[in-house]
Structure 1
Amino acid sequence: MSINELINQSEGRRLEFKGELPTNSDLAKTVVAFANDAGGEIYIGINDNPRQIIGLSEEELPRIEEQISNLIYDRCYPIILPEVSFLTIEDKHLIKVCIYRGSMPPYYLKDKGKLKGTYIRVGSTNKLADETIIAELERRRRNISFDSEVVMDKSADELDISGFKLLYKEKTGEDLNIQVLRKLELVKTEQDKEYPTKALLRHINKAANIEGVYTVSRWEYPVKAIREIIRNAIVHRDYSLTGKDVKVAIYDDMVEITSPGLLPPSIDYSAMESRQSDARNKVIAPVFKRLGIIDQWGNGLKMVAEEMKSYPEIDLCWKEVGLSFQVQFIKKNYQENTNMEDSADNERRPAQSTTQSTTQSTTQYTTQKLTEAQNMILSYLREHPEATRADLNSHIEGITVDGIKYNLARLQELGLLKRVGSKRYGYWVVLGE
């Protein structure tokens, strides 16, 4: 990719622009965050907002290079070796700092220590890692996964895994005895006693729920591709992030799958047609392969790319939302009946009387069952009529910004919600009460 193409990209997980050499702490945080994740590049001499090449003094380049190298050596631990190079574009001089994915995470700021100085990259920002994320980085350094850790609260023979044994027998034709459990690393021996790993204790014993991976209901969409993304979400999610679940949301215009945990650094959705394989959960993934949920390592995204060719009317989009990874299958030609916050439309549209609104709302409410998210939105707006989409997103768990936008439009379409006034200074009215 040429530098001209690069500077037209947005800052993100692996890219950052700086007009001048940033403060010591800012640069060190970015370097640490890149090393803890997928690596990244910092371009100095390019403003981000507005995006503009301003350049650096040619005479100052050697001094800045030495300053960057010394700063990274002095402030970051373990040692990070940057690759610093000079670029020239439009007769202006830039410095490129390339940070590679580290093999000894967690990386952190020396003066802050591991607990207060470990940063990760979330979108285009550096986020202070909590203890859960630090533990995951330490597992990555030791090349072990969360699901392979031993849980010593109960011995293996105290667990009721009869349902999983039946499923395993049905899918593989084999009995799930203690030898097989050991081979699959679902149990491990500690102090001459068998203990379950987290894969068995917390997830595999819930195997009856796995049936949902085998079925897909929405025929308008590429069902094989959706099934593969759901499989990936379940098999490769970050189970160390407690209190989070895989979410599948079905809207009028899209299907959305959200999986806890950022995309593994070695997986690139923009190169879907190539074979890619990186199992975050090194115990769960082989078990799912034995059960036939995973067909063949590395072929999943390639299969998704192939099926999408048969669905030109569907857009496949992916993005990182906080500490989650989200995939959307979106209908290209879907037209919403309502523009939820179009102030011009609100001002042009004649106001309905209270009686008309209530009648319409009551009629549609009895024929249309509301989702849990829609009920939560209505409940919040009753108490906070001036709330914005951002307010709703921050106060309602388990729903994305796009989900808020869709559900607000849907509630207006049903006649249960009305926007009064402009986008900036207006307020919401819950109807039919």
Structure 2
Amino acid sequence: MIIADTIAFQYSAYITINSSEPGGKIMEEQEIRNLLESVRARKTELSTFEAKSAHVDCPKKIYDTLSSFSNQDEGGVIMFGVDENQDFAVTGVYDAADIQKKIFGKCREMEPEIRPKMSVAAIEGKQVVAAEIPGVEYTDRPVFYRPAGINNGSYIRIGDADEHMTAYEVYKYQAYRKGLKEDQRLVEDGWELVDSALLHKYLNTLKNRRVNTFEHLADSEILRLQKVEKEGYPTLAGLLVFSKYPQSAFPGLGITAVAVPGTERGDAFADGTRFTDNERIEGSLPEMLEEAMRFVKKNIKYSTVIDDMGNRVDKWQYPLRAVREALLNALIHRDYSRHTEGTPIQLIIYQDRMEIINSGGIYGGFPVKRLGKDSPESRNSTLIKILEFLDISENRYSGVPTMRKEMAKAGLPQPEFEDNGKQFKTILRNIPELTDKQIRINISGLNQKEREAVQYCSVPRTRSEIASQLKLNYNYAANKIIKPLVDRGILISAGKKGRTVMLKAAESVHSQTASQ
């Protein structure tokens, strides 16, 4: 099992590095064998692996997998001559040369066309064909089956299954490719509730900072150049900032804020109460930001401490500056398209964490792991620019670094970011970060996946979160990784009904730290 886990990890790195390079090296026979063994060990297909028997002929329907693999960064491998329904037994292909020809033909039916790398191996005395499908550039997605059209022929990989892309998922790629700016679209509901004082402040700031550009221009001309107005009507960005009640035109563009008595949605007090507080926050974007901060301060704990200078200081359960940055990021980076305008931002305060969820993944497929290190493109550049001149947002991509710095100063775990393409979630946890001394446990003898699970559980995690982090099937992760660690006392159950698994704070004279 240890070998299989290691192989899977190495193969993941291999396909990421090589699959996008035209003419790059193809898989060697031993690599194909190793990949098959890792799949057999898990007893399930992977997000990057699909088995097709092809004992009699080339499968008729593979365009769904061709599409889904092409539409993910890591691509994937389709292995012909292996039957999933027989525990991934090697059945062999009917004719290695002919099946390769037919696969290339099916790849030419995709839009844009796919160029797979083909490998042939002899396993258990039978021929197996491996087709490596590279992930295409984000700007070329979605890859779809041409005869079915873009809406019916576009697929996405979810676990080990190929699912039709939703209309929004297709739109997301098209919007990026076409450079659509939803925050600049016209809103014909007008300026009936305009915040004149804030608009006046904005215009004066522009004139003072851009004297040579705006000093002698009429206010209407400045607003037009700054994309606040078009043809006498506000743009969506202008409405969100300068209208006292944008929800008259867009009822869904608000924030739903709840405080939950437990650590999961659905947890309740003995009398059945599910929320300790519940509000719908509306108004302009600056007003929603301040109202959301008021809600947070009302529903989190704080204590008064004496600092090094002898001053009394309020210490909040979460650093307020980190919370503000998380809320601001959700407000200015969410997707404001017609597909999502009915979906409010969610602010959920649990006992052990705070979650802030907004519609739309990171713009342009920017990887989560690069947040705070590189600068992603802006989905709502007009909105961000307006807020910059109002000194509400810095527009220097400092939000994530600020969150990380503030959480570290407070002795709390680093913020977590999750992007499933449809929603972006920021998680702030209030359980103090464990020190090396506190998390010293005996991890000798653990395989790679077990070590990853232990390190990931330095703060409470659900079983489904662990499975997702390890990129494993839920049942496999629960029975083969989590349960043995719990049985050994390395992971312990914490939280209601044991749904949250956390690292046991145990010490051992002969231990190693989880950071190893």
TM-score under structure 2 normalisation? 0.51
Q: Which residue in 2 is equivalent to 1:429?
A: none
Matches of 2:354 and 2:143, distance apart in 1: 37
Partner of 1:84: 117
Q: Per-residue displacement from partner, 1:310-333 (whole Å, max 9, x unpaired)?
A: 455425333346832222223447
SS in 2 for 1:209: helix
Tell me the alpha carbon deviations over residues 367-420 of structure 1, each in whole angstroms, 9 at most, x when there is no partner: xxxxxxxxxxxxxxxxxxxxxxxxxxxxxxxxxxxxxx98999xxxxxxxxxxx
Change (3 A) 1:181 1:96: same
Matches within 5 A, 1:49-60: none
Contact kept? 1:85, 1:95, Cα under 8 Å: yes
Q: How does 1:250-269 map to 2 (within 5 A)?
A: 250-269=349-368
Deviations 1:158-214 (A, max 9, x none): 6734264156369768699323322222223xxxx4443332345652243243477
Alignment-derived partner of residue 238 in structure 2: 200
Residue 28 of structure 1: aligned partner: 63
Selected match of 2:150 from 103, 114, 123: 114
Confirm whether residue 181 of structure 1 aligns to residue 223 of structure 2.
yes
- Give the alignment's TM-score, normalised by structure 1: 0.59
Which is worse superposed, 241-250 or 86-95?
A: 86-95
Alignment of 1:93-108 (within 5 A): 94-105=130-141, 107-108=143-144
| 1:85 Cα deviation from its structure 2 partner | 5.4
The correspondence of residues 353-372 of structure 1 with structure 2, limited to 5 A, is: none
Aligned to 1:160: 194
Aligned runs of 1:377-416 on 2, under 5 Å?
A: none
Amino acid at match of 2:237: A
Structure 2 counterpart of 1:244, from 340, 343, 348: 343
1:254-403 matches, within 5 Å, as 254-311=353-410, 313-314=412-413, 316-320=415-419, 323-332=422-431
Partners of 2:497 and 2:88 in 1: how far apart? 41
Cα distance in 2 for partners of 1:90, 1:133 equals 39
Contact 1:172 1:291 in 2 (8 A): no
How far off is 1:245 after superposition? 1.0
* Structure-2 change in CA distance of 1:293 and 1:247 (3 Å): same
| RMSD (Å) for aligned C-alpha atoms | 4.7
> What's the counterpart of residue 323 of structure 2?
226
Q: Partners of 1:99 and 1:112 in 2: how far apart?
A: 21
Partner residue of 1:43? 77
Instruction: Indicate conservation of the 8 Å contact 1:277/1:297, yes or no.
Output: no
2:139 match: secondary structure: coil
Aligned-pair CA distance for 1:281: 1.9
The 8 Å contact of residues 224 and 304 in structure 1, kept in 2 or not, is answered as yes
Counterpart-to-counterpart distance in 2, 1:256 and 1:313: 15
- Structure 1 residues 150 and 93: CA distance shift in structure 2, 3 A: same
Instruction: Find the aligned partners of 2:178 and 2:11 in 1 and give their Cα distance.
Output: 37
Deviates more, 1:161-170 or 1:288-297: 161-170
**Equivalent residues in 2 for 1:107-146 (5 A)?**
107-120=143-156, 126-146=162-182
Give the match's secondary structure for 2:52.
coil
Q: Secondary structure at the match of 2:391?
A: coil
Is 1:68 the counterpart of 2:103? The answer is yes
User: How much does 1:238 deviate?
Assistant: 1.3
Alignment CA distance shift 1:127-1:222 (3 Å): farther
Deviation of the 1:143 alpha carbon: 1.0
Sequence identity percentage: 18
- Please give the per-residue CA displacement for 1:262-315, whole angstroms capped at 9, x wherever unaligned: 233442222345122221223222222323333243333333344444455425
Question: Which one-letter code corresponds to 1:111 in the other structure?
Answer: P
Please report how far the alpha carbon of residue 17 of structure 1 lies from its aligned counterpart in structure 2 after TM superposition. Answer: 1.4
Q: CA deviation at 1:126?
A: 4.5
Query: Quick check: 58-67 or 130-139, which moved more?
Result: 58-67
Instruction: Tell me, yes or no, if the aligned pair for 2:53 and 2:92 is still in contact at 8 Å.
Output: no
> Quick one: structure 1 residues 177 and 325, their matched pair in 2 at CA, closer, same or farther if it must change by over 3 Å?
same
The residue matched to 2:290 in structure 1 has which SS?
helix
Q: Is the 8 A contact 1:34 1:120 kept in 2?
A: yes
Q: 1:300/1:322 Cα in 2 relative to 1: closer, same or farther (>3 Å)?
A: closer
Report if the CA contact (8 A) 1:80-1:102 is conserved: no
Question: Which residue is 1:19 aligned to?
Answer: 51
Shift of 1:239: 1.6
Q: What 5-or-longer segments of structure 1 have no aligned partner?
A: 335-404, 410-433
Return 5+ residue gaps in structure 2 as ranges: 1-8, 15-34, 209-213, 244-283, 301-315, 434-493, 499-516
Q: 1:89 to 1:24 in 2, by over 3 A?
A: closer
Q: Which secondary structure state, in structure 2, belongs to the residue aligned with residue 248 of structure 1?
A: strand
Structure-2 change in CA distance of 1:60 and 1:295 (3 Å): farther
